[in-house]
Amino acid sequence: MDISAIDTLEAIVDGDTIVPGMNFVLPAGVGKTQYFNPSTGQCTPDYTKAANQPTLYPACYSSNLGSFVLPDMNSFMWYLNDPGSASAQILAAPGGAVAAKFATKFQKTTYTVNNKTYPALKIIGNLASAGSLNDAVIYFKGTFNGMEVTCHGDIGVKESVGNLFDILINCVNEDGVNDTVIDNDSEYLVLTASLQDSGATVQASGAWSWLRATAAGLVAVTHTAGVTELSNGNRTLKLYDPAVEGTEEYFASVVHNSVTHRKGIQVSDTHDPFYINIGRSTPSNMVKEGDTVVYRPSVLARSSRAVQTGWSFTFTLRDHNGSTVKTATGTSLTVTGTEVMEKGGLNVHIIATKS
């Protein structure tokens, strides 16, 4: 029996580790990059149009509870580009309304999924312009289970010159709601990939395929009824409970004009009988070059949260393209800030095995 967990270390409390995450709710055909055309002055997608407006919400995972947790709804703050600057605060006060200077760019809202209502932020104004072609980073800072956690989501900003290809993955649960978690209310997830050029969907010239990140590397996904079901010319992957043990990473891949494009997405299952407490030595996943992070994982029973014995652990460090950086086995893993900085961030994939 195998279960897995993934922690993302980004370059830049005893008893629990909160794994920060930011989820995007994306309208059909809209990705996480906005393109600015210098000839026309137009943005693609145009966030001023309601049909194109993405929403972000913090999806922070408690390694001790084995579930996603809600923040304190009265003390959170959203920031644009700098979580340490008062001038970057999107809200006028913690948990309050959007500040006047950001009122044309953002809208405070909520997002309900898996019977939990999260604080959320909708983008209602364009972030790209002739004088602003830097990526926009939206930060959320809040308190989870008594710990302050900062998570962020990136909106890429690019000038649409030539071909700029990217893969967009839309993930919904059985109710058609944007979600990446299988739980007691969702028995499967549907992932649909599309190829975009400067934000506009295009027809790929070659074949689509899906890959699953494993301890042995990226492995091709095949059609298996009730587990991993492929359809729509392999653009769509339907994941059932047996395909997601803990937290997994799947990659959509397509060949277009003899060039291979690949994009990954992490999905989770929070109703398995066992789960991994990753045991990260630092409360934050933000790592500086001189830092050292140690993982001492354990397996817990979801019903009682009691630590289980007889499990062995395999560790795999991957970059954001899914390429393996380092592997190890044992009871702990040490990751240095230098390793994280060299790759601009790492995914730490932990697999627990019991024979």
Q: Are 115 and 129 found together in one domain?
A: yes
Rounded mean pLDDT, 229-242: 96
Asked if pLDDT for residue 352 goes beyond 80, the answer is yes
Q: Are 153 and 170 found together in one domain?
A: no
Q: Are 117 and 179 found together in one domain?
A: no
In a domain, 315, yes or no: yes
Q: Are 225 and 343 found together in one domain?
A: no
pLDDT score, position 105: 97
In a domain, 5, yes or no: no
In a domain, 106, yes or no: yes
Measured between alpha carbons, how far apart are the two ends of the chain, in Å? 6
Report the run of H or E that residue 194 belongs to, with start and end. Answer: strand 188-197
Rounded mean pLDDT, 308-323: 90
In a domain, 183, yes or no: yes
Q: Confidence class of residue 1 from pLDDT cuts 50, 70 and 90?
A: low
In a domain, 210, yes or no: yes
The β-bridge relationship of strands 208-214 and 147-159 is unpaired
Angle at CA of residue 252, ends 66 and 119, nearest 5°: 40
In a domain, 344, yes or no: yes
Q: Confidence class of residue 13 from pLDDT cuts 50, 70 and 90?
A: very low
The answer to whether residues 116 and 70 touch, using CB atoms and an 8 Å cutoff, is: yes
Share of the chain above pLDDT 70, in %: 96
Residue with tokens 């930060």: 139
Angle at CA of residue 82, ends 79 and 86, nearest 5°: 70
Q: Are 239 and 301 found together in one domain?
A: no
The per-residue pLDDT of the chain, averaged, comes to: 89
- Examine the fold and report which residue of 117, 136, 159 is the final residue of a domain before the chain moves on: 159
Give the three-class secondary structure for 63. coil
pLDDT score, position 10: 53
pLDDT score, position 64: 77
- Examine the fold and report which residue of 159, 175, 204 is the final residue of a domain before the chain moves on: 159
What is the spatial distance between Cα 140 and Cα 152, in angstroms, rounded to a whole number?
6
- Examine the fold and report which residue of 269, 298, 333 is the final residue of a domain before the chain moves on: 269
Query: Can you give the CATH number for the domain in which 152 is found?
Result: 2.60.40
Asked if pLDDT for residue 6 goes beyond 80, the answer is no
Q: Confidence class of residue 322 from pLDDT cuts 50, 70 and 90?
A: confident
Q: Are 23 and 131 found together in one domain?
A: yes
Q: Are 31 and 154 found together in one domain?
A: yes
Asked if pLDDT for residue 14 goes beyond 50, the answer is no
The answer to whether residues 73 and 95 touch, using CB atoms and an 8 Å cutoff, is: yes
Question: Residue 330, exposed/middle/buried by CB under 10 A (0-12, 13-18, 19+)?
Answer: exposed
What is the spatial distance between Cα 291 and Cα 338, in angstroms, rounded to a whole number?
8
Question: Residue 60, exposed/middle/buried by CB under 10 A (0-12, 13-18, 19+)?
Answer: buried
Asked if pLDDT for residue 3 goes beyond 80, the answer is no
Question: Residue 227, exposed/middle/buried by CB under 10 A (0-12, 13-18, 19+)?
Answer: middle
The answer to whether residues 220 and 237 touch, using CB atoms and an 8 Å cutoff, is: no
Asked if pLDDT for residue 185 goes beyond 90, the answer is no
What is the spatial distance between Cα 232 and Cα 252, in angstroms, rounded to a whole number?
13
Q: Are 62 and 117 found together in one domain?
A: yes
Q: Are 170 and 188 found together in one domain?
A: yes
Q: Model-level pTM?
A: 0.70
Share of the chain above pLDDT 90, in %: 59
- How many domains in the chain? 3
Residue by residue, DSSP assigns 27-40 as -TT--SEEEEETTT
Q: Which two tokens stand for residue 160?
A: 């649409």
Q: For 181, what's the count of Cα atoms within 13 Å in the CB-facing half-sphere? A: 20
pLDDT score, position 9: 65
Q: Confidence class of residue 12 from pLDDT cuts 50, 70 and 90?
A: very low
In a domain, 6, yes or no: no
pLDDT score, position 16: 59
Decide which of 113 and 7 is more confident.
Answer: 113
pLDDT per residue over 274-291, tens digit each? 889 999 988 777 788 888
Q: Are 111 and 229 found together in one domain?
A: no
Asked if pLDDT for residue 15 goes beyond 60, the answer is no
Angle at CA of residue 118, ends 116 and 121, nearest 5°: 155
The answer to whether residues 277 and 63 touch, using CB atoms and an 8 Å cutoff, is: yes
Query: Can you give the CATH number for the domain in which 223 is found?
Result: 2.60.40.10
Which range marks the domain in which residue 342 is found? Answer: 278-353
Q: Are 241 and 314 found together in one domain?
A: no
What is the spatial distance between Cα 180 and Cα 263, in angstroms, rounded to a whole number?
15
Q: Are 262 and 315 found together in one domain?
A: no
In a domain, 33, yes or no: yes
